[in-house]
Amino acid sequence: MRGIPSLITNIRKNVFTEVARMAYAGGGYEKAEDLPYIIVPGDRPLHRESVFLERAIAGERVRLAMGLSIRPIQTRSLMTEGMDHAAIAEQYYEPPLVNIIPYACHACPTNQYRVTESCQNCLAASCQQVCPKGAVSFVNGKSEIDQDKCIKCGKCSKACPYHAIIHLERPCQAACGMDAIVSDQYGRATINQDKCVACGQCLVSCPFGAIVDKGQIFQVIRSIMQGDQVIAIVAPAFVGQFGKASTPEKFTAAMKLLGFDRVVEVAVGADMCTIEEAKDFLEKVPAQQDFMATSCCPAWHAMVHKLFPAQSKNISMTLTPMVYTARLMKKEFPGCKVVFVGPCAAKKLEAIREDIRSDVDFVLTFEELQGMFEAKNVDMASLPDGDSMQEGTAAGRGFAVSGGVAQAVMDLVHETNPDLEIKTARAEGLRECRKMMTLAKAGKYKGYLLEGMGCPGGCVAGAGTLLPVELAATVVGRYQQEADKKSPLESEYRDRGETLD
């Protein structure tokens, strides 16, 4: 589904665009009541059984895009209820960050094997022969599975010569590496927030668009409109996300049209992070701890704390690239507001931590930023080039793809200690991250640097991205090669990391 335009991506874009358009128009949030009618026009439904249901869902999407919670369906309330508290520039999210709109959920089947029309009623009946519970039998000339007897072993599916037996799994549940998706009494998906780390993979996997994260589009624009100096710090995965014309120079020009005072690439902070993590590794492994884990991905970080608390001390104490870059901006431009623009839903959760709130004022995903471009009718192809972004190095830009963090740290260690061997292991996707940490807990990674990425593919596969993952990784690779500087030691900020901790 990622990178494939669909009705779901159109709906999300329309919601973000209309919320941004309302914010740029000035005034208050009162027009939010009209937005569901703009997003779902006419008197006929586009994709559900009722236009009224579509508008109800659109209304909740608008609320979530403004950082508000879903309203309880059992009681009557205005769509704008609570917006007086949310529609201010200083408002943070109220948990939970990732939400399921109950009446948008399709109540998909969970972990079932089903016989399709491809069944040929063959004489071998291999599916019946291999079933250890006798759950498969012929009914009306076709194989049929008794779901009460089935133990989901999959032997029937593997044995069928026609591949007529399929495995049905709820997409959001399959995508959740934390096993945080469960079912309510009506079979609809719901999130166990005690397990959720806000990676957002369920969000991009739901074919019905029922899962939505909260946003701050309105608050960002409100801050710009009231005259704040708003600085955008942009994750290196941004390159190519907004179309073929979105070169870094066109992108910075477009950001100025939106009202941002300046644009800085977070690769600057990634370079500082590389230097500090390399120091951290050399000082602590193996003298003080068996291994060290990277600190950059907030979903990975949260997963370790939740599932492997005894090993969480092995995560590097180094700040993330987002925080380093934000603190750098706050120091250079006192009183400014900092917006992190990136691919990641989990960064929103990181930014509301008490020790981070004063550094990062807002977080926008690329998808949400696209809505702002749409609201201002920005055509990048027609814009004159703006400033180029050449402060970050190739190593820092490489943080956007899986393996990039470990590679940057390893290269730097080799650069400063050419005779020292450094062993690394990496995992992408939280299920694989859990496997890697299980092995680390068992002592299999002594002396290693471990890189964990919550999204399969790395940051370029974050829940707020617009491009297919493989294409995004390729574009970032070219962006790395175009960097003026290769090593973090070439960065003009190479010695700033310690002063910002």
**Percent helix, strand and coil across the chain, each to the nearest 5:** 45, 10, 45
Q: Is the four-CA dihedral 101, 106, 107, 108 of positive or negative sign? A: negative
Mean pLDDT of the chain: 93
Compute the average pLDDT of residues 78-88. 76
Which pLDDT belongs to residue 283?
95
CA atoms of 85 and 100, how far apart (whole Å): 22
For residue range 29-67, list pLDDT tens digits in order: 889 999 999 999 999 988 898 999 999 999 999 999 999
Which pLDDT belongs to residue 88?
63
145 or 75: which carries more pLDDT confidence?
Answer: 145
- Give the pairing type, strands 262-265 and 292-293: unpaired
For residue range 447-459, list pLDDT tens digits in order: 999 999 999 999 9
pLDDT band at 90 (very low <50, low <70, confident <90, very high): low
Boundaries of every domain in the chain: 7-106+177-218, 112-168, 219-500
Compute the average pLDDT of residues 7-28. 93
Global pTM reads: 0.94
Helix and strand counts by DSSP (H, E) for the chain: 20, 15
Compute the average pLDDT of residues 431-459. 97
CA atoms of 113 and 115, how far apart (whole Å): 7
φ/ψ of residue 60, rounded to 5: -70, -35
Compute the average pLDDT of residues 238-266. 95
**Does an H or E element contain 425, and which?**
strand 423-428
**Is the model's pLDDT at 92 over the cut of 70?**
no
4 or 481: which carries more pLDDT confidence?
Answer: 481
For residue range 177-207, list pLDDT tens digits in order: 999 999 999 999 999 999 999 999 999 999 9
CA atoms of 150 and 25, how far apart (whole Å): 58
CA atoms of 121 and 118, how far apart (whole Å): 9
For residue range 94-145, list pLDDT tens digits in order: 789 999 999 999 999 899 999 999 999 999 999 999 999 999 999 988 999 9
CATH topology of domain 219-500: Fe-only Hydrogenase (Larger Subunit); Chain L, domain 3 (3.40.950)
For residue range 351-388, list pLDDT tens digits in order: 988 888 889 999 999 999 999 999 999 999 999 999 88
The phi-psi region of residue 467 (left if phi > 0; otherwise alpha if psi is between -120 and 50; otherwise beta) is beta
Do residues 56 and 104 touch, judged by C-beta distance below 8 A? no
**CATH 3.90.1150.10, applies to 112-168:** no
As given in the structure block, the two tokens for residue 103 are: 């009446």
For residue range 270-312, list pLDDT tens digits in order: 999 999 999 999 999 999 999 999 999 999 999 999 999 999 9
